[in-house]
Structure 1
Amino acid sequence: MLKYKSCKNLPPVEELDYSEDTLVNHELQDLIPHLLKTILALAWANRWDWFFAAQMRIYYDPDESAIVPDGFLSLGVERFIDERLRSCYVLWEENDIVPILVLEVVTKVSGEEYIAKKETYVQMGVLYYVIYNLLSRRRPPLEVYRLVDGSYQLQSENPVWLPEINLGIGRERGTFQGITREWLYWYNEQGQRLLTPEEQLTEAERRAERLAEQLRNAGIEPDL
């Protein structure tokens, strides 16, 4: 894991450069991490020890440029730091807590997700590295790597269970924001997909309709 010397004068977040625009090459680079974040926000609504971000700079060493994954999850940090929220994720202001999971959505031929970024995440000590590939037919569409003894080992399941997060991650067809395609989702230990807020609302409406029908069958007009 990458270490920086504690004796250095570490710059506060206000002095870090985040004025340069973060480029998103494909709409799915924004939608896929936001779907994962939306599901987490519902599943972990009563937890305040996690942070998920999309297209946010991670400052991991004061001598290095920031790295910008498409999405990342940190555990053991404050979900909200103040009303201004975070403009970037700075390790030395987050008690040196490295993201436990990083997501990259491959939308163009560059290779940095498999070489440069991968090496940086190893140095940082990111436990899980998730690559969702929209392009290459020579690679699996979803690759989940686990850091073992300083190198990433590919996990073969779908979904892949992540015991340190107590969730699985995998791919499945579904609908998000009216778009039906394959998405990435979180799963419970039984392999059941966690529902999106829209799906939970639909389920609640169906339960209400079934209850109303049962009441009508019993001769009771439901108060809707």
Structure 2
Amino acid sequence: VDNNLQPLLAAALRESLELAGLILESMLIASNFGLCATVNNQTVVKAPDWVYIPSVKPIASGEIRRSYTPHLQGEIPTIVLEFISETEGGEYSINPHYPYGKWYFYEQILQVPVYGIFQPKTGELEIYRLNQGKYEQQKPDENNRYWIAEINLFLGVWQGTKAEFTTNWLRWWDKSGNLLLWGSERVAQTEYQLEQERMLRQKLAEKLRELGVEPETL
């Protein structure tokens, strides 16, 4: 973890998925978590800032999953995300030799379908999709979001405040363009709806009194 914002970015991505009921027990969604592969009898480990794996083999009750080896322990990750801090940390490295660059590892060794690189400071998000064994940079839609078909959601950048940080965040939108809310936003939305209902009842009561009817008698 390069800074205290990165865990918050990762947690925020997971939170909205969880609250929307889009996380299943068979999935693995993690941050700064070791993805492993054996290449030429050498173990290679990279720990992306955020990873989404649609299906993994269960582990024994009480056990803690400390790393993950695709194929051996379940499916290939659908998407990996790297958050760039002040200094570029090898996110674009195509080093084909041990210990291998991140880009090379995700593209050539694991063959992850979607690779994203996000710069919170500038709000730049680059999404690459595997096409015939090579990553191709994708173009965003008219809302500057990227459709991640494997998850059936859009991924894009949202500027605002969460956990006392005002910065650029990665957010999910559904196919209809609705933002998947965080817990605090859901609470605020509920409070707003309750206040609107209270005001409506108050106006109705005032109207009834103007007509000489006491609302309490109804």
Instruction: Give TM-score, length-normalised by structure 2.
Output: 0.79
Counterpart pick for 2:77 among 96, 99, 111 = 99
Name the SS for the 1:102 alignment partner. strand
More displaced stretch, 97-106 vs 70-79: 70-79
The aligned residue for residue 75 of structure 1 is 54
Counterpart pick for 2:133 among 150, 168, 177 = 150
Shift of the alpha carbon at 1:176?
1.3
Counterpart pick for 2:187 among 177, 183, 201 = 201
The aligned residue for residue 169 of structure 1 is 155
1:72-123 residue CA offsets vs partner (Å, 9 max, x unmatched)? 001123688644442222335523x111100101114345100110110012
1:122 and 1:166 mapped to 2: Cα distance? 22
Shift of the alpha carbon at 1:134?
4.4
Shift of the alpha carbon at 1:56?
0.9
Task: Using the aligned pairs only, state the percent identity.
Answer: 28
Q: 1:212 is matched by which residue type in structure 2? A: R
Q: In terms of Rg, which structure is larger? A: 2
Name the SS for the 1:91 alignment partner. coil
- The answer on 1:119 being equivalent to 2:97 is no
Shift of the alpha carbon at 1:200?
0.8
Distance 1:174 1:110, change over 3 A: closer
- The answer on 1:180 being equivalent to 2:166 is yes
Name the SS for the 1:193 alignment partner. coil
1:113-151 residue CA offsets vs partner (Å, 9 max, x unmatched)? 00110110012011110101246x7xx811011111101
Name the SS for the 2:42 alignment partner. coil
RMSD: 2.4
Distance 1:179 1:214, change over 3 A: same
1:206 and 1:110 mapped to 2: Cα distance? 42
- The answer on 1:87 being equivalent to 2:66 is yes
Q: 1:170 is matched by which residue type in structure 2? A: G
Distance 1:42 1:85, change over 3 A: farther
- The answer on 1:189 being equivalent to 2:172 is no
Instruction: Give TM-score, length-normalised by structure 1.
Output: 0.77
2:60 and 2:162 mapped to 1: Cα distance? 29
Q: Which runs of 4+ in 1 moved over 6 A?
A: 78-81
- The answer on 1:141 being equivalent to 2:124 is yes
Contact 1:74/1:99, CA 8 A, preserved across alignment: yes
Shift of the alpha carbon at 1:38?
1.1
1:218 and 1:81 mapped to 2: Cα distance? 59
Contact 1:55/1:70, CA 8 A, preserved across alignment: yes
Shift of the alpha carbon at 1:175?
1.9
Contact 2:120/2:169, CA 8 A, preserved across alignment: no
Shift of the alpha carbon at 1:192?
2.8
Contact 1:50/1:79, CA 8 A, preserved across alignment: no
Structure 2's unaligned 5+ residue stretches are 94-100, 206-214
